[in-house]
Amino acid sequence: MRTRPTLTWTPTGEVWPTTESLDEVAGVLAEGNVLVLSGAGLSTESGIPDYRGATGSLRKHTPMTYQAFVESADGRRRYWARSHLGWRTIARAAPNDGHRAVTLLRAAGYVSGVITQNVDGLHQAAGTPEVVELHGSLDRVICLGCRRTSAREELDARLRAANPTFEAAATRINPDGDAEISGAAVADFRLVSCASCTGGVLKPDVVFFGENVPKERVDQCHRLVEGADSVLVLGSSLTVMSGLRFVRRAAEAGKPVLIVNRGATRGDRYATVRVDRALGPALTELTRRLDAA
């Protein structure tokens, strides 16, 4: 079963209180056993754009959907040509102060677990262990036929060999590694199939818009929510239900929900406190206040 893609969310008009003070967040963190749920806003300071911020990519492009990818060879060619170029930018990105702060808070025992909606691997690059990648990772590729997974570097080498003269200039890089390039460059791009089952369609091991998060991963996240004393949302608008459901579950269980994000979120009604500040400086301040730095 596939869901209808949720690309945007329109605020209801209700105004929820916000603050720039980190006092309440610091107090809850000090008690420990806090589950972090991070989104694209945490990676913007690493040069990776978000979807829905003030300069979010959804204002300029429509991301690939699962249906368009599996139903159309032209759709797959468009995705892989653009991603072949854009992924290199994602792969070169380095963790920022926000990622490093999460790692420090985890090491100090304040954070008990991390669920990320991001597919860039920057939490792991910063040294955070046991990160649950809710939407998968661009570092991996999966065959839709035999289900074998392989490293993105392996596919990158094969695509380079199949397209030795491929040259394109990206005008913009999007959060999913999709790069804006000319239609002519896309038309000439050659696809490759699975090297194991010879013919299987290859897809990045990420959850596309319109695709469901695997049930076992959802169940794992629910267990993390149930085991935590509170939930800290970092840099997510919570527009899509895949992340919002965990915030709802925590709130229904009476657990504090702390949101640090630039701009309103779909989860503001469930928030114990919402801090409107840039993530890097805010999280760095929290590590200092808690002596986790």
Report yes or no: 35 and 113 within 8 Å, Cβ to Cβ: yes
Strand order in the sheet with 230-234: 131-133, 111-116, 34-38, 230-234, 257-260, 273-275
pLDDT tens column, 174-221: 656 666 676 777 888 999 999 999 889 999 999 998 899 999 999 999
Report how far residue 190's alpha carbon sits from residue 160's, in angstroms, rounded to the nearest whole number: 10
Residues 286 and 163 grouped into a single domain: no
User: Which pLDDT belongs to residue 3?
Assistant: 43
* One domain for residues 250 and 130: yes
Q: What is the mean pLDDT of the chain?
A: 89
pLDDT in tens, 8-47: 656 666 788 999 999 999 999 999 999 999 999 999 999 9
Same domain assignment for residues 191 and 217? no
C-alpha Rg value of the chain to the nearest Å: 19
Which pLDDT score, from 0 to 100, does residue 52 have? Answer: 46
Full domain range(s) for residue 121: 18-48+95-135+212-293
Model pLDDT, residue 128: 98
- For the stretch 233-284, pLDDT in tens is 999 999 999 999 999 999 999 999 999 999 999 999 999 999 999 999 999 9
Number of domains in the chain: 2
Domain match, 66 and 145 both = yes
Residues 75 and 157 in one domain: yes
Told to judge if 123 belongs to the known catalytic residues of this protein, a careful annotator would answer: no
Q: Are residues 124 and 155 in the same domain?
A: no
The single residue of 84, 99, 123, 135 carrying the catalytic annotation is 135
CATH number of the domain where residue 288 is located: 3.40.50.1220
Q: Is residue 166 part of a domain?
A: yes
